[in-house]
Chain A
Amino acid sequence: EPEVTQTPSHQVTQMGQEVILRCVPISNHLYFYWYRQILGQKVEFLVSFYNNEISEKSEIFDDQFSVERPDGSNFTLKIRSTKLEDSAMYFCASSELALGITDTQYFGPGTRLTVL
């Protein structure tokens, strides 16, 4: 069964450094999402992306964050200058159709980001 993959599984970085989290969505999916989950807390929506544009973003997704689909398969989340509070599990998800039409978005296994 097709699945969303994410790399790396764990990223450790120093405060102020840039990180890029990578995701490979399911191949025929057109809608892509990033979420984060701080340890012990709820999953938080960051951004949705369709047709090479951000569809919607949350208040968390400030100028330090950016997303890109650099080629036909990868979907990346960049954090320009990491802060301690960016430490979290970051989940990528994808769906074939818009979420209001499809029944399912598929989540990757997550990247655990630790900012020291």
Chain B
Amino acid sequence: SQQGEEDPQALSIQEGENATMNCSYKTSINNLQWYRQNSGRGLVHLILIRSNEREKHSGRLRVTLDTSKKSSSLLITASRAADTASYFCATLNTGGFKTIFGAGTRLFVKA
């Protein structure tokens, strides 16, 4: 079944460093999204990249998509303590109604 899996499961960095999280999936997709979740809270949509796109930027976020490898990466540049959260990738199936989330990467940014 279609599945987004993040790597690493947890990441601890110093403020100011860059954080890179990776996601792999198994089947063809319409698009791939990245979300952020603060502990016990709702999900915040960060960025979406479509299957015909290779790279996308939004502020300090950079997302890449390699459909041949069925993988994506999220780069957060110049991290801040406030970036501490869990980050999930999610894929939309080609039918267009079902979003499948990965297990997430827990990012901890030390001040």
How many pairs, one residue from A and one from B, have CB atoms within 8 Å of each other in the complex?
Answer: 59
Q: Separation in Å of the B33 CB from the closest CB of chain A?
A: 8
Given contacts A33-B99, A55-B97, A99-B97, contact A43 B88 (CB under 8 A): yes
Of the candidates A50, A89, A99, A106, the one whose C-beta lies within 8 Å of that of B99 is: A99
Name the one of A44, A58, A99, A110 contacting B92, with C-beta atoms under 8 angstroms. A99
Tell me how many residues of B have a C-beta within 8 Å of chain A. 23
Q: Given A99-B30, A99-B92, A100-B30, check contact A45 B45 (CB 8 Å).
A: no
- The DSSP consensus for interface residues of chain A is strand
Contacting pair A108 B42 (CB below 8 A):
yes
A-B pairs, top 5 by smallest CB distance, nearest first, are A100-B96, A56-B97, A43-B101, A48-B97, A55-B97
Interface of A toward B, CB cutoff 8 Å = 31, 33, 35, 41-45, 48, 50, 55-56, 58, 89, 91, 93, 98-100, 103-110
